[in-house]
A and B are shown apart, each in its own frame.
Chain A
Amino acid sequence: MTRKGRRLILIGSALTVLALAAGLILTALNDTIVFFRSPSEIAEHKVAPGARLRLGGLVEAGSVAKQGTAVRFTVTDGNAQVPVTYTGILPDLFREGQGVVAEGVVQTDGSFKADTVLAKHDERYMPREVADALKKQGHWKEGEPGGPPAPAPVRSTVQ
Chain B
Amino acid sequence: MALLDFANPTRFLSLSARLIPWTAGVAALALALGFTLAFLAPPDYQQGETVRIMYIHVPFAWLSMFGYSMLAASSLGILVWRHPLADVAHKAAAPIGATFTFLCLLTGALWGRPMWGTYWVWDARLTSVLVLFLLYLGLMALRAAIDEPNRAGRAAAVLTLVGFINVPIVKFSVDWWNTLHQPASVFRMGGSTIDASLLWPLLICALGFTLLFLTLHMIAMRTEILRRRVQVLEARAAAEATA
Chain A positions near chain B (C-beta within 8 angstroms): 4, 7-8, 11, 15, 18-19, 22, 26, 30, 33-36, 38, 56, 90-94, 101, 116-132, 145-147, 153, 155-158
Contacts and interface: CB of A to CB of B under 8 A. Distances in A.
Contacts of B164: 15
A125 B114 contact: no
Nearest to A147: B178
Main secondary structure, interface of B, reads: loop
Contact of B42 (A121, A127, A147): A127
Contacts of B176: 26
18 contacts: A8-B76, A35-B179, A56-B178, A92-B115, A93-B117, A118-B180, A120-B180, A121-B116, A123-B183, A123-B188, A125-B193, A126-B45, A126-B195, A129-B42, A132-B45, A153-B193, A155-B190, A158-B195
Interface stretch (B17-25, B97-105, B118-126, B205-213): B118-126
Nearest to A32: B177
Contacts of B193: 122-125, 153, 155-156
B137 interface: no
Interface in B51-100: 51, 54, 76, 79-81
Interface string B180-192: 1011110010110
B109 to A, nearest CB: 14
B45 A117 contact: no
Nearest to B114: A92
B161 A125 contact: no
Interface residues of B, number: 45
B165 interface: yes
B161 A124 contact: no
B179 A123 contact: no
B198 A127 contact: yes
A77 to B, nearest CB: 11
A40 to B, nearest CB: 12
A125 B51 contact: yes
B161 A101 contact: no
Nearest to A35: B123
Contacts of A101: 180
A46 B95 CA distance: 49
B206 to A, nearest CB: 14
A91 to B, nearest CB: 3
Nearest to A7: B80
Given A8-B76, A126-B44, A127-B45, 18 more contacts: A11-B76, A30-B177, A91-B115, A92-B114, A93-B47, A93-B116, A121-B46, A122-B193, A123-B184, A123-B185, A125-B194, A127-B195, A128-B43, A128-B45, A146-B183, A153-B190, A156-B194, A156-B195
B191 A91 contact: no
Kindly list the 9 A-B residue pairs having the minimum CB-CB distance in the complex, ordered from nearest: A91-B117, A127-B42, A126-B195, A146-B178, A131-B45, A35-B123, A123-B185, A147-B178, A128-B45
Nearest to A8: B80
B36 interface: no
Given A33-B177, A125-B198, A155-B193, A11 B115 contact: no
B165 A35 contact: no
A135 to B, nearest CB: 10
Of the listed residues B44, B54, B184, the one surrounded by the most CB atoms of chain A closer than 10 A to its CB is: B44
B194 to A, nearest CB: 4
B165 A22 contact: yes
A118 B193 CA distance: 23
A130 B161 CA distance: 44
Nearest to A154: B193
B134 interface: no
A33 B195 contact: no
